[in-house]
Amino acid sequence: MQSSAAFDIVRAGWRSGRLAHSYLVVGNPRTEGGTFARRVASMMLCEEDPQRAPCGSCSACRRVESGAHPDVLVIEPEKASRRILVGAIRPDADNPPGSRRFFLEWANQKSFEGGWKIGIMLFADRLNEQAANIILKTLEEPPENTCFLLVTDRPDEMLPTIISRCQRLDLASGRTPPAEPWRSRVASILSEHSPRSVLRTAATASRLAAVFDEIKTLAEEENEAEIRARSSADPDHWSAPSKDDMKAMVKNREKEKRAAVYQAMQDWYRDIVALSAMPPGSQDPPLFFPEFRDALAERAANVSFRVASRLPEFVQEMRSRIEDRNINKYDFVFSHWLAWMP
């Protein structure tokens, strides 16, 4: 997704009144990520004809650019700790009230100039956990006419609960999805899913569970092949790993491969979110699965944007059920969530 394509998605949402409350902007905060966030802020505050916003030259645009607009708050990590701490979010012992603009206070205040407020957090992956927990609720239900842009190039280091509350925009130009065997399988399975039929939901769940079973077999085979290769490369110094080590090795391999499946599911539902955010008749946003465009559009048309924007969160939930709680009744977990998902 090129940065201009991501911008088109936000602009279309803005013009049609279907802006997400919070965006996760994936790009370098020092370069394209930060620039993108400021450009979105300018677009929302520009005094020119909305069709031409951001004009880049009106007073609002110039103040956003120079950091002087009171309705744009940019926060970033403290220099010393290189973290975003609670003191940036709300007053604490080291940061008495009035000593700075606090993220939460600012968010809950009225707009200074009567328009939108845009809260930009650079290096959002450096939010410490306590600070992250404080802003969760605000991200989910921001004050009126307030939009948050969380910018990071390390989304994997962020709390899933934060990520799931944001619409994700990947700026990296020419981002190509990882080529792996599961990706198109997952898309084709999901393209036949429908929550309206219990049978279809069960079928989807068992087909996805079958992918995980295959992954298990493949992980075992790969592991054995690697051990054979290592033992024959240096037979004198090689000692066979213990049964427990073997198990752990296979488990890690499985986990890595399953990550690709979750990624494919996330991308599938992100496509639905992106399509559901577009006003009717507008051009398609760039899709992860353009080959399934019609199937995706049909789902997007039948789901409200509010529900659609939570779908990636549901995938995250499935993932944490299976991975964090070590549940291996995969089809059970899948069918539980898929009953609610288009």
Q: Which residues bind Zn ion (CB under 5 A)?
A: 46, 48, 55, 58, 61
Q: Which amino acid is at 30?
A: R
In the complex, least distance from residue 64 CB atom to Zn ion, rounded to whole angstroms: 8
In the complex, least distance from residue 118 CB atom to Zn ion, rounded to whole angstroms: 14
In the complex, least distance from residue 5 CB atom to Zn ion, rounded to whole angstroms: 22
Q: Between residues 48 and 222, which has the closer beta carbon with respect to Zn ion?
A: 48
Q: Between residues 58 and 250, which has the closer beta carbon with respect to Zn ion?
A: 58
The single-letter DSSP state of residue 22 is E
In the complex, least distance from residue 47 CB atom to Zn ion, rounded to whole angstroms: 6
> How far is Cα 88 from Cα 127, in angstroms, rounded to an integer?
10
Q: Between residues 47 and 313, which has the closer beta carbon with respect to Zn ion?
A: 47
Query: Do residues 278 and 239 lie in contact, with contact meaning Cβ atoms separated by under 8 Å?
Result: no
Q: Between residues 55 and 202, which has the closer beta carbon with respect to Zn ion?
A: 55
Query: Do residues 338 and 198 lie in contact, with contact meaning Cβ atoms separated by under 8 Å?
Result: no
Q: Between residues 41 and 278, which has the closer beta carbon with respect to Zn ion?
A: 41
Query: Do residues 171 and 25 lie in contact, with contact meaning Cβ atoms separated by under 8 Å?
Result: yes
Q: Between residues 58 and 159, which has the closer beta carbon with respect to Zn ion?
A: 58
In the complex, least distance from residue 58 CB atom to Zn ion, rounded to whole angstroms: 3
Instruction: Return the SS3 of 114.
Output: coil
In the complex, least distance from residue 69 CB atom to Zn ion, rounded to whole angstroms: 11
For residue 60, give the H/E element and its range.
helix 59-66
Of 261, 269, 264, 256, the residue nearest 330 (C-alpha): 261
Residue that the structure tokens 């890690």 belong to? 252
Helices (H), 95-197: 103-108, 129-140, 160-163, 181-191
In the complex, least distance from residue 49 CB atom to Zn ion, rounded to whole angstroms: 9
How far is CA 334 from each of CA 19, 260, 319, 322, 324, rounded to the nearest angstrom? Answer: 30, 16, 9, 9, 15
> How far is Cα 50 from Cα 59, in angstroms, rounded to an integer?
15
In degrees, rounded to 5, the angle at the alpha carbon of residue 209 between the alpha carbons of residues 208 and 214 is 100
Q: Between residues 4 and 81, which has the closer beta carbon with respect to Zn ion?
A: 4
